[in-house]
Structure 1
């Protein structure tokens, strides 16, 4: 399939490594945009969207709109929840570029080599990144329900999240069905650390040196479990501006200033649809969601309404943070689509 061409940084616009350049919305319906922002920030907790803590829009590499809820601001750090999955995908891309990981080879998971002929041993990093590993994993955030993700993050699995996920049995043959599972990301994060032969401190140093520092991301706070695994499924706190920096790296095909930090084909891999459809969930690439804001858009999505949405045809990034109940999840998606449409 043909992917939309990603825009380059305008020649007259500085990269936001030190600070974000500012601008005004262009080709936008200002009245509609203001009305949508007023809806989001009408009260600390709104009937439509729940709480909105931050909304930031970048157009043409410049911040053109930035709003914060009461008690929040540009220096506040916000939870990533599953937006961290897309950060994990970037870290894997760095190692793939160096030849230290092969996404089409069986993943380096010791638990799957303990028993001869374990069918899980055939699972590849590509299948893990595309949520098509076939592993049984219940992704449910409702208290009282059976939930592997809650058990992994807060229960018996919290001391070693990758091990917990790796012990799940197969529900489907690898590569035959799509099923969103946070556990797969923590397996991937551990594979990345094993490829580097580092502990948690070493992996955090790698994250900062190779990804965060080149982008000027000074705020990220990644979380690790007691076993030293980056909890890449869920926990990397950062400011809205730093989440936008990360988004700009992908919108610019992996290029930052005069360096190609991530291969352009790795960015294309992230936004290429997974062969197994994400039934009822939306379109999915490789640890990035697709088409939330129109065809060609791709996004890092997180629990309770955390979003970094990239819209190539508009050269636009929308970052939204808040605390939205699950029953209002679709309202936030609709609001995001309306905000983006105001620029069309």
Structure 2
């Protein structure tokens, strides 16, 4: 009996320690589930059942129980009844996790959008794409590549694939429950969109990449020499922990902070600018805050992404979600359907020109595709690169927008090619090199 009591006591101690160590993580788990659910239902117009079955079934996240309240456009999650988190949907600004700082009356303005319907065929307009036959393209290989991307649905988890060649729709495929109109969360593909606003402002003569970051708190310390270029290249030298497996800088920012632009700003310098490369979602949200400083009013800031880029190139499905303070979460939270993500890639293949209008300088593409020191040729300025052959059977001029769980917009200028793939799994489960190499082989 004494032995049994000791075993039970030991077991209780172990359980207590496990709960103590993991209880704070419940905040992140329920926060992720609630935010993902609210965005999926109200931005992407997916069913709550589908979101629970697929998107919220990831390890640990599956522990959350999430319910939708359509009366108040919200979603709430708990983990075994503990640590409830709630996310609410705001038209035009997407879903946001709320906390004690949230005041539903504080942010009444919304981004103004202009979405004229034209007669130009996709991707340059809103009409259906023109059927085009390219005699030089091996469609058997194209079809083989598409089939390869969907061959193992349980592990690859590909949802959509689209191929543009010479500005024409060559192929597209969607799994059941998704189609050309279904918005997809880009996760960190959003970083590339955020960076593009800087290219647009540079083209308009309103800022330069070598300007010091306009952060008052840095002006009298070792951070004063950090430039916009250093931030866009993730080489500011600031401390940051990008770890999604537990409580870290990035998970605290995304699931606890009311103002996501300050997390990176408050970090100390651990190296001189350019000495290290450190991928940081906090840096992108800091850039979103700096972007806001460029405008006289909050309304102008909210309008700018749509007026200067998103609606300008017909990405009408795109929604940039904002935090409680009304800052765009440039690190992670842009939604758009697959065709609209491809429009963004086509804009970059066109070196910033869209139907005759130059949105950013052609040299901006050279800038964002120039490899950043210490990134092993994999990173430019908020875009990923193949400069040193990460994908060995794909041209080295490939550059891309990459997002969590295998969201990709690939651009290969030498092949006049854009490939968009979305899903719930990335490498090694999804063979990027294999799929892209088959597509490339099909082209002259």
Instruction: Please give the TM-score of this superposition, normalised by the length of structure 1.
Output: 0.86
User: Cα RMSD over matched residues?
Assistant: 2.2
Q: Tell me, what secondary structure is at the counterpart of 2:312?
A: helix
Q: Could you tell me which residue of structure 2 aligns to residue 130 of structure 1?
A: 233
The alpha carbon displacement at 1:111 in A equals: 3.3
Deviations 1:224-266 (A, max 9, x none): 1112211111111001111111111110011111211111111
Is residue 324 of structure 1 aligned with residue 440 of structure 2? no
Question: Shift in Å at residue 334 of structure 1?
Answer: 4.2
1:180 corresponds to which of 262, 279, 285: 279
SS in 1 for 2:329: coil
CA 1:268–1:138 in structure 2 vs 1: closer, same or farther (change >3 Å)? same
* Structure 1 equivalent of residue 379 of structure 2: 284
Q: Does 1:193 align with 2:292?
A: yes
Whether the 8 Å contact between 2:349 and 2:411 is mirrored in structure 1 is yes
Q: Secondary structure at the match of 2:261?
A: helix
How many angstroms apart in 2 are the aligned matches of 1:58 and 1:214?
A: 19
Which 5+ residue runs of structure 1 have no aligned equivalent?
1-11
Does residue 1:339 correspond to 2:439, yes or no? Answer: yes
Partner of 1:70: 176
Structure 2 contact 192–382 (Cα < 8 Å) conserved: yes
Q: 2:206 is paired with a residue of what secondary structure?
A: coil
Distance 1:34 1:248, change over 3 A: same
C-alpha contact 1:109 1:187 (8 A) present in aligned 2: no
Instruction: Give yes or no for the alignment of 1:42 onto 2:151.
Output: yes
Q: CA 1:140 to 1:343, structure 2 compared with 1: closer, same or farther past 3 Å?
A: farther
- Residue 179 of structure 1 deviates from its aligned partner by 1.4
SS of the counterpart of 1:121? Answer: helix
Q: CA deviation at 1:277?
A: 2.7
Alpha-carbon distance in 1 for matches of 2:121, 2:397: 24
Paired with 1:41 and 1:73, the residues of 2 have a C-alpha distance of: 15
1:46-66 Cα deviation digits (max 9, x unpaired): x3x2x1111000001000100
Q: CA deviation at 1:313?
A: 1.1
2:125 is the alignment partner of 1:17: yes
2:189 to 64, 83, 89: 83
Is 1:119 equivalent to 2:211 in the alignment? no
CA distance in 2, matches of 1:61, 1:326: 28
Give the deviation of 1:126 after TM superposition. 0.2
Asked if structure 2 preserves the Cα contact closer than 8 Å seen for 1:95 and 1:192, the reply is no
Offset at 1:296?
Answer: 1.0
User: Cα offset for 1:328?
Assistant: 2.9
Measure, in 2, the Cα distance between the counterparts of 1:71 and 1:13: 25
The yes-or-no answer on 1:303 pairing with 2:404 is: yes
Larger relative CO (CA 8 A, sep 6+): 1 or 2? 1
1:15-51 superposed Cα distances (whole Å, 9 cap, x missing partner): 6222343434653443333233223223542x3x2x1
CA distance in 2, matches of 1:150, 1:212: 27
Separation of aligned partners in 2, 1:67 and 1:26 = 22
1:164 aligns with 2:263: yes
Note the C-alpha offset of 1:102. Answer: 2.1
TM-score of the two chains, using structure 2 as the length reference: 0.67
Q: Determine the structure 1 residue equivalent to 2:203.
A: 97
The runs of at least 4 consecutive aligned structure 1 residues that moved more than 4 Å come to 12-15
Structure 1 pair 229–26 and aligned structure 2 pair: CA distance change class (3 A): farther
- Are 1:230 and 2:328 an aligned pair? yes
> Secondary structure of the residue that 1:205 maps to in structure 2?
helix
Aligned residues: 318
Deviation of 1:335 after TM superposition, in Å, equals 3.0
Give me the whole-angstrom Cα distance separating, in 2, the residues matched to 1:181 and 1:212. Answer: 24
Q: Mean alpha-carbon deviation: is it higher for 129-138 or for 201-210?
A: 201-210
User: Structure 1, residues 154-185: CA drift from partner, whole Å, max 9, x if none?
Assistant: 13xx3111101211222211121111111111
Instruction: Give the unaligned 5+ runs of structure 2.
Output: 1-119
CA contact (8 A) 1:137 1:183 kept: yes
1:251 is aligned to 349
